[in-house]
C-alpha cells in the first residue's frame, strides 16, 4: 500500500455509505411528516379512554389513515408523530409475535412510522423509528441533539501515550486507518475530511431503521441503529453507529456493551463482549467476553474472550481464546493469536509507548510473550512457536519458524531463540495452501477487496531478498547471529537451517515463475493460438503480475531451459507440493495415533482430508493440461522438421 493510493476528499463525503443512509432517512422522514394531520377530538377521547395521556394533545400529529385501536396505556410528551398501526404481526424473536402499535410506553419528541410495534418501553426521546421496527421491553432509548454517533472520536492506536492517533468514522477501513497511524497521508487534510464527515451525519435525533428489532435492551443512547439490525438483551449502546441492512444484518445481543464506536454491516457483538472507542468493519465479530478498546477490527476478523487494545487488526485474524494484543499494527491480517499469547509488552515499567508490526499471516503460538518494539512485517506467514519469549527485534525472513533452541551453543545468549528460514513452506505447506482457500470461502465482505494469493509479487520480493541475504553468507559456521545475517532478529540460525532456507526460498521463487509461465501457456491454448506457446515470456507482458513473473523468470535463468523442460519441471513441483501438503497433514496423524487409541476414528486422516483431496484433484488437472501442452509442442517440432525436410528436397 502506497501513500498515494489513499485519498480522503471532503467533497466526496456525501457519496459514502453512511452519509447516504442519513440522507435517505432525512428524505423518508420529511416525506412522512408532510402527510401528517392533527388528531380529531373524537380520536383524542378514544386515546384517553385507552389509558393514554399527553402534555399537549395538539402536539400529536398522525397519518391520515391513523387508527386509535392499537395505542394503549402510553404517555406522550412534546411533539410526537404516528403512522398507520393495523395490528400487523411482528416477530419478537422470542418465540411469539406482537401486533403493531404503541402499548405501555413513554414517548418524548419521537416519530413512529408505519406498522411499528412499540411495547413496554420506559422512555423514547428524540428518535425517528422507521417502518416495521419492533421495540419491546426497552429501558431507555434517547438521543441528544449534538450526538455524533461515535464519529470523530480520537482513537489511540499503537503508542498508547500518543503519536499515532486515528479519528473514527462509520465508513472507516483498515487501510485508511493504517495510513493515518503511520502518517502516510496529510493529517490536516484528513482532519478536515473527518470534520466534514462528522457534520454530515449529525442529524439532531436518533434513528431506528426499518425492520430493526430491539428486544430486552437496558439502555440505548445517542445511537443510530441501521435497517434490520437485531439488538437483543444488550447491556448498553451509547454514542454509536450500528450500520445494518436487510441482506447484511448486524446483531448486538446477549449482554453486549458498545460505547463511542462505529459498527459496520454484518457485524456481531455478543455474549458479554465490550467494544469501546473502536471501529468494527464489515462482518467482523466480538464475542464471549472479548474486549476491544481504541482499536479498528478488519473484515471477517473475530475477537473472542481475549483483549485487543490500541491496535489495527486486518482481515481474517483468528483470535478465539484468552489472549492479549496491545499496540499492534497489523493491517495485513490473515494470522492467528493462540490461547495465552501475550502480544502486549508495550512498556517495561515505563510509559506504554512501544508497538508491534505483526506481518501478514503471522501465527502467535500458545503462551508466547512478545517483547516490544517488534517488527515482523517483512516476515509474513511466519510462526512464533508455543511458549517462547521473543526479545525486541526486527525479522525479515518470510515463512519462518521461531522456536526454542534445539541445542545450546557457546556464544549464544540463552535469551535467543532459533530461527528456521522458510520452514513453514518446506515443512508446513498444508497450512499456507489451506488458508488461501479458506479465506476465499469464508469471505463475506462486499466493500473490501482482498488478495488471497499468498505467493504474489510483494511476498515474492521479500522471499528474493531473504534468499539473497542467506546466499551472501559465505563463512561456514555452526550457527549465525544477527551480526552475521541481517534481519534474523534476536535469534540464531544454524548452518543446516541456513542451507535449508536457501533451498526453500529458491523453490518458492521457481514455483512462482513456472506457475506464471504455465498460466500464460494455458492462456495461449484457451485463445486457440497454441503456436504462440514458444513465445511465452519472450516479450514484455501488459499484465503487471505476468510481467513480474516474466522478469524474475529471466533473472533466475529459467529462460535458459527449453519450454518443455520448464513444463516438465513445473509438473514435478506440482507433484512435490501435493506430497508436501499430504505429508504435513499426515505428521499429525502419525503422532496422534501413537497417543490416542481412537485417533483414526474421531479425526479426519490425511487421505480423507477435504483440502488434501481437493489439492490432489487440482494438481492432477494441471498436470493433464501440461501433458496437452507438451503434446502440442511435440506436434510443433514434427511440423517444423517436415517443413525443413520439404525445403531440402
Q: Residue 633's pLDDT is what?
A: 85
- In this structure, the number of other CB atoms found within 10 A of the CB of residue 350 comes to 9
Average pLDDT over residues 272-276: 98
Give CA–CA dist 29/186, Å, rounded: 37
Per-residue pLDDT reduced to its tens digit, 333-355: 999 999 999 998 877 677 888 99
- The answer to whether the peptide bond before residue 373 is cis (omega within 30 degrees of 0) is yes
Give CA–CA dist 364/181, Å, rounded: 23
Per-residue pLDDT reduced to its tens digit, 278-293: 999 999 999 999 999 9
Average pLDDT over residues 112-131: 97
The chain-wide mean pLDDT, for the chain, equals 93
With bands split at pLDDT 50, 70 and 90, how would you rate the model's confidence at 632?
confident
Q: Residue 647's pLDDT is what?
A: 29
Q: Residue 7's pLDDT is what?
A: 66
Cβ atoms of 299 and 315 within 8 Å: the answer is yes
Vertex 621: Cα angle to 615 and 626 (nearest 5): 125
Cβ atoms of 517 and 566 within 8 Å: the answer is yes
| Local structure of 279: helix, strand or coil | strand
Three cell numbers written together for 283: 462482518
With bands split at pLDDT 50, 70 and 90, how would you rate the model's confidence at 642?
very low
Cβ atoms of 358 and 338 within 8 Å: the answer is no
With bands split at pLDDT 50, 70 and 90, how would you rate the model's confidence at 640?
very low
Vertex 346: Cα angle to 333 and 269 (nearest 5): 45
Per-residue pLDDT reduced to its tens digit, 141-160: 999 999 999 999 999 999 99
Within 346-415, strands assigned E span 356-357, 363-364, 369-371, 374-375, 383-384, 389-390, 393-394, 401-403
User: In the chain, what are the domain boundaries?
Assistant: 429-637
- In this structure, the number of other CB atoms found within 10 A of the CB of residue 63 comes to 17
**Non-local CB neighbours of 613 within 8 Å, separated by 6+ positions:** none
Amino acid at each position: 500500500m502506497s501513500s498515494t493510493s489513499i485519498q480522503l476528499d471532503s467533497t466526496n463525503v456525501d457519496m459514502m455509505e453512511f452519509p447516504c443512509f442519513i440522507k435517505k432517512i432525512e428524505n423518508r422522514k420529511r416525506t412522512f411528516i408532510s402527510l401528517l394531520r392533527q388528531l380529531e377530538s373524537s380520536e383524542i377521547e378514544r386515546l384517553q379512554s385507552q389509558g393514554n395521556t399527553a402534555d399537549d394533545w395538539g402536539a400529536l400529529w398522525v397519518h391520515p389513515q391513523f387508527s386509535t385501536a392499537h395505542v394503549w396505556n402510553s404517555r406522550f410528551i412534546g411533539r410526537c408523530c404516528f403512522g398507520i398501526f393495523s395490528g400487523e404481526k411482528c416477530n419478537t424473536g422470542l418465540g411469539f409475535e406482537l401486533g403493531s402499535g404503541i402499548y405501555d410506553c413513554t414517548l418524548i419528541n419521537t416519530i413512529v412510522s408505519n406498522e411499528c410495534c412499540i411495547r413496554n418501553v420506559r422512555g423514547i426521546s428524540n428518535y425517528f423509528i422507521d417502518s416495521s421496527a419492533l421495540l419491546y421491553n426497552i429501558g431507555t432509548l434517547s438521543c441528544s441533539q449534538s450526538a455524533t454517533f461515535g464519529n470523530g472520536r480520537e482513537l489511540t492506536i499503537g503508542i498508547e501515550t500518543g503519536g499515532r492517533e486515528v479519528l473514527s468514522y462509520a465508513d472507516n477501513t483498515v487501510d485508511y486507518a493504517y495510513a493515518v497511524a503511520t502518517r502516510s497521508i496529510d493529517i490536516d487534510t484528513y482532519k478536515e475530511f473527518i470534520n466534514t464527515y462528522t457534520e454530515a451525519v449529525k442529524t439532531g435525533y436518533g434513528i431506528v431503521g426499518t425492520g430493526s428489532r430491539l428486544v430486552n435492551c437496558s439502555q440505548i443512547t445517542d445511537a443510530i441503529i441501521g435497517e434490520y439490525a437485531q439488538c437483543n438483551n444488550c447491556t448498553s449502546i451509547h454514542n454509536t453507529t450500528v450500520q445494518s441492512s436487510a441482506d447484511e444484518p448486524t446483531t448486538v445481543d446477549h449482554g453486549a456493551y458498545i460505547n463511542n464506536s462505529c459498527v459496520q454491516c454484518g457485524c456481531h457483538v455478543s455474549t458479554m463482549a465490550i467494544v469501546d472507542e473502536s471501529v468494527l468493519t464489515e462482518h467482523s465479530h466480538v464475542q464471549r467476553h472479548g474486549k476491544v478498546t481504541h482499536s479498528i477490527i478488519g473484515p471477517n476478523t473475530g475477537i473472542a474472550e481475549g483483549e485487543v487494545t490500541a491496535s489495527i487488526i486486518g482481515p481474517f485474524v483468528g483470535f478465539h481464546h484468552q489472549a492479549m494484543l496491545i499496540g499492534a499494527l497489523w493491517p495485513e491480517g490473515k494470522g492467528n493469536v493462540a490461547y495465552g499469547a501475550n502480544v502486549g509488552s508495550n512498556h517495561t515499567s515505563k510509559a506504554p509507548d512501544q508497538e508491534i508490526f505483526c506481518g501478514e499471516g503471522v501465527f502467535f503460538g500458545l503462551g508466547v510473550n512478545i517483547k516490544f518494539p517488534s517488527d515482523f512485517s517483512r516476515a509474513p506467514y511466519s510462526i512464533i512457536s508455543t511458549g517462547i519469549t521473543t526479545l525486541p527485534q526486527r525479522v525479515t525472513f518470510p515463512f519462518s519458524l521461531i522456536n526454542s533452541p534445539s541445542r545450546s551453543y557457546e556464544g549464544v545468549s540463552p535469551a535467543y531463540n532459533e530461527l528456521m528460514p522458510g520452514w513453514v513452506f518446506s515443512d508446513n505447506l498444508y497450512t499456507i495452501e489451506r488458508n488461501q482457500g479458506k479465506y476465499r470461502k469464508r469471505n463475506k465482505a462486499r466493500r473490501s477487496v482482498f488478495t488471497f494469493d499468498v505467493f504474489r509479487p510483494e511476498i515474492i520480493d521479500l522471499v528474493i531478498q531473504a534468499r539473497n541475504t542467506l546466499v551472501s553468507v559465505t563463512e561456514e559456521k555452526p550457527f549465525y547471529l544477527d551480526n552475521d545475517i541481517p534481519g534474523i532478529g534476536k535469534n540464531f540460525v544454524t548452518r543446516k537451517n541456513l542451507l535449508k532456507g536457501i533451498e526453500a526460498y529458491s523453490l518458492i521463487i521457481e514455483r512462482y515463475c513456472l506457475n506464471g509461465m504455465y498460466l500464460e501457456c494455458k492462456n495461449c491454448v484457451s485463445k486457440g493460438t497454441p503456436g504462440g506457446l514458444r513465445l511465452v515470456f519472450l516479450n514484455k507482458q501488459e499484465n503487471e503480475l505476468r510481467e513480474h513473473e516474466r522478469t524474475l523468470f529471466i533473472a533466475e535463468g529459467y529462460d535458459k531451459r527449453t519450454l518443455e523442460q520448464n513444463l516438465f519441471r513445473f509438473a514435478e513441483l506440482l507433484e512435490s507440493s501435493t506430497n508436501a501438503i499430504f505429508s504435513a497433514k499426515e505428521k499429525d496423524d502419525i503422532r496422534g495415533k501413537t497417543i490416542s487409541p481412537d485417533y483414526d476414528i474421531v479425526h479426519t486422516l490425511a487421505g480423507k482430508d477435504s483440502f488434501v483431496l481437493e489439492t490432489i484433484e487440482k494438481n492432477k488437472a494441471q498436470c493433464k493440461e501440461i501433458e496437452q501442452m507438451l503434446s502440442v509442442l511435440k506436434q510443433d517440432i514434427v511440423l517444423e522438421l517436415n517443413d525443413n525436410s520439404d525445403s531440402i528436397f
